[in-house]
Amino acid sequence: MQKELAVVLLSAGMDSAVCASVASLNFRLALLHVQYGQRTALKELECFYKLCAYFQPEKNFVASAMFLKEIGASSLTDESKPIPEKEELSIPSTYVPFRNGIFLSIATAWAEAIGATRIFIGVNQIDFSGYPDCRESFLKAFNQAIQEGTKPETHIIIEAPLLHLSKKEIIQLGIQLKTPFELTWSCYQNTEVACGRCSSCKLRLKAFEEANLKDPIPYQL
């Protein structure tokens, strides 16, 4: 029997790439990337296409959600706000309002149109950035909204296989599944060489260190 089709939200970051590796074990892949005017948009797009070359998905789709840049209110999309280099106690300025709600909505529309039965998203709530739209309670509520808001014959379920893993465990899983970490991009700040100082670089570097592995991408620092 043919495997079912899964939409994978692929930002081209480390977590989403491991998530794609997990999805590929049991599903045909439809890789979805969203461009939303984030600082490192072009680098992420380049990595997305490299990851498509690696994963050879059945379908891929790049959706433009530039309204997120127009809406602003985040240091990722508003270049007048600095990217923080220290950990913040409250929700960090890199939080993009309801970004995962928007990503999951686009994924749902595409999944319904192409007949996919799963949406994979690489969020994790351990070692995460404190974004409210990365929590299990959010995914659970959104999953219910999908069930209520799509056709009766549509059965789309959100899968978040990394939700309860630490960053270190995510890397170990990726190594086991041969995720091409060298093709991924996590830095919030730069588009050439990762800065090594932003919160996203720090989380990534710490994770590789804890896993006793060397991150294959170069860093400024």
**Residue numbers of the site for a copy of itself (CB under 8 A)?**
61, 63-68, 70-73, 91, 95-102, 104-106, 108-110, 112-113, 132-133, 135, 137-138, 140-142, 144-152
Give me 123's structure tokens. 């969020």
User: Has 74 been labeled as part of a binding site?
Assistant: no
Minimum distance between the CB of residue 166 and a copy of itself, rounded to whole angstroms? 22
* CB-CB contact of 49 with 149 (8 Å): no
Enumerate residues 6+ apart whose C-beta is below 8 A from 121. 9, 16, 19, 100, 103, 104, 107, 139, 158, 159, 160
Residue 69 CA to residue 215 CA, distance in Å, equals 30
Q: In the bound complex, what is the minimum distance in angstroms from residue 195's beta carbon to a copy of itself?
A: 26
Q: Which is nearer to a copy of itself, 101 or 180 (CB)?
A: 101
* Closest-CA residue to 95 (of 60, 68, 124, 56): 68
CB nearer to a copy of itself: give 41 or 146.
146
Q: In angstroms, how far is the first alpha carbon of the chain from the final one?
A: 50
**Residues facing residue 98 across a β-bridge:** none
- Is 129 marked as a binding-site residue? no
Q: Is 195 annotated as a binding residue?
A: yes
- Tell me if 20 is assigned to a ligand binding site: yes
Residue 133 per-residue DSSP state:
G
Smallest gap from residue 142 Cβ to a copy of itself (A)? 4
Query: Is 198 annotated for ligand binding?
Result: yes
Nearest distance in Å: CB 130, a copy of itself: 10
For the bound state, the minimum distance from the C-beta of residue 148 to a copy of itself, rounded and expressed in Å, comes to 4
**The token pair that represents 50 in the structure block:** 């490299």
Q: How is residue 66 written in tokens?
A: 């530039």
63 or 213, CB closer to a copy of itself? 63
Q: Residues forming the annotated binding site for ATP?
A: 10-20
Q: Residues forming the annotated binding site for Zn(2+)?
A: 187, 195, 198, 201
